[in-house]
Chains A and B, each alone.
Chain A
Amino acid sequence: MSRSVRVELNWPAENTVVVGERHYFAYDRGGAVHVIASRCAHRGGPLHLGEVEDGRLRCPWHGNSVRLDRLCARAAAVFQRGSRIIAYLPAGPAEAGSPATDPAPVVTNAIVLAR
């Protein structure tokens, strides 16, 4: 069974989670908050700084766009009750022969242009 990292956000005051080098942003789609990995599948561009248009999120680096419904379907597992958001982020790959440890997640407020 894969591992996961539990984080809690006070939405919308907190909209970003950083786990080591991985960056996630919270996105409100019709009242449902999704926690999405901010990494474009093309060259790793920062999706949280992209623009939303016609149901698609456009990466600010090379202009690749991805359907938001698909992005949300692949987003982290989230339970939402009012402003309380609990997300389960995938844990990083464990080194062979060493115990699986992840950097502590940092929950913060950052500039998110993808809205």
Chain B
Amino acid sequence: MTALGLRHDESVTPLVVDFVGNSAYRPHATPYIVDNPYRRPLHRDRLAAVDWRSPLTEDGFVSDRSLLANRLLMNVYESDAMFLPVDGLRGKERDFAAFYDPAARVLADRIRPTAERFALGFLDESVQVNGHWDEAETLAHLEATIDEATNADFPVQDAIERAADPRRAAEMLMVQMALDGLTEATAMSQNLGGAYGAEQSELFKIFIDEFGYGVFAAKHSTLFTDLCASVGMQTRAHHYWFFYLPSSMAVNNYFYRVTRDRTGFFRYIGAMALLEATFAPWFARLTTSMRTIFGDSVDTRYCDEHAHIDQHHGRMAVHDLLLPLARKHGPTAARGLIRGVEEIRLLSSLADADLLAQLAWTPTARSARSASDVDPGGARPEIRELGPTVPFETEVADADTSVDVSSGRVDLHWTGTGEPLTLAAGEGVGVPKGRLYGLSADADAVVVVSRRR
């Protein structure tokens, strides 16, 4: 039973449908959201079909259900944070009112526990922290984990450098980073209030670094937008909404989950400490990749700042925050801290694998498949009509999928930037299981989407 009286096994579908009915989440015609932080399309019918009583498993973490649930959760969380359009509110007053509608907030609070359990509950099974943890065991495990992480390879940076189109691959990485980069430290701000001793002040020290000591130009999110702008990418939240991978959103949602629920405090500190302690070499390597790919014109101050300040944040988060908490609050706190460390390590590795698979996929057109190539054991082929008035949507292929154009011309989108792959009638494309894609057409067109043999 949740605090709000919902049983976890109770279907929240009617509440989800109500929530999605909010005009801020209405369908959107084009692949990008232009300067409106409240517009975050949610697909009502697909969300209504989710069985919330069957949570995701680790094996099913990269799936269409995961994409839908994490988008929903993201809106649940972020509608509790402050967003204003960069160019002002004029003309967007209705979306502002809808996004922050108090009735929608009540729905969000009722949906949240079940949606969290659905999207992230598998962590309880996948990560186990047992026995009696004291400061010594906590420090030993943390040191070993940080050592392992900081001495690991950099597969994402290696992949974007080796990609068929390195620029496009680097931009897809930045699209994923935008989830946190544009709202940096919002989850952290949730734990600034209250009263919990000297550790509260230690967290605040890290927070003020994230916020550039009150200087907007030095705020980490400003440095991130400068990075994006320097390579010609859009900087408004959430311009690339349709191209967030489910795993990237899950990592972001995790931090909201463990901060919204105050019992998750120790998990939050553990997860945050691990990232702060391992970010410095990761971002230093990213600077090298960015320079290699974009040359001297790229503004890498965001990466450079992390490469520098996270050396300090790692030490501060571990020795001034995490260990004192373990010492002061005992084994239950220590178990929570270690759980947070391991949960974010697992989520990050799943997110890396998801992104690497997306980066490795370069769709190419081929002749359309015939009906005999369709998997007879799979679902019936779906015939979709596309056109300029049909809302845009992205999805994750839950099986190896074939998209074949029957009439018209169709664009396949698979990254947040770059030209789509245009398919003419009689052409098709394979979408590997787990990959994110969207279809659009400037004029009327028909495609057949089927499970591949």
Contacts and interface: CB of A to CB of B under 8 A. Distances in A.
Contacts, number: 71
Interface residues of B, number: 22
B140 A33 contact: no
Interface string B127-161: 11111111111111100100000000000000000
Contact of A4 (B127, B130, B137): B137
A22 interface: no
Contacts of A32: 128, 130
A62 interface: no
Interface string A1-40: 1111010000000000000000000000001111100000
B338 interface: yes
A79 B342 contact: yes
Contacts of A31: 125, 128
By secondary structure, the B interface counts as helix
A79 B128 contact: yes
Interface residues of A, number: 24
A27 B253 CA distance: 34
A88 B137 contact: yes
Contacts of A107: none
Contact of B126 (A35, A73, A78, A81): A81
A66 B346 CA distance: 35
A1 B334 CA distance: 14
A80 interface: yes
Contact of A34 (B127, B131, B138, B144): B131
A61 B132 CA distance: 26
A4 B141 CA distance: 10
A60 to B, nearest CB: 23
A77 interface: yes
A114 B140 CA distance: 29
B137 A77 contact: yes
A78 B334 CA distance: 12
A78 B129 contact: yes
A112 interface: no
Interface string B113-130: 000000000000111111
A74 interface: yes
B136 A4 contact: yes
Given A4-B140, A88-B140, A78 B131 contact: yes
Contacts of B140: 4, 6, 88
Nearest to B339: A79
Given A81-B127, A81-B342, A81-B346, A76 B132 contact: yes
Nearest to B144: A6
A49 interface: no
A78 B139 CA distance: 13
A34 B125 CA distance: 15
Most buried by B among A6, A74, A79, A88: A79
A2 B128 contact: no
Contacts of B132: 73-77
A68 interface: no
15 contacts: A2-B134, A6-B140, A35-B131, A72-B131, A75-B130, A75-B132, A77-B130, A77-B133, A77-B338, A79-B127, A79-B141, A80-B129, A81-B127, A81-B346, A88-B133
Interface of B: 125-141, 144, 334, 338, 342, 346
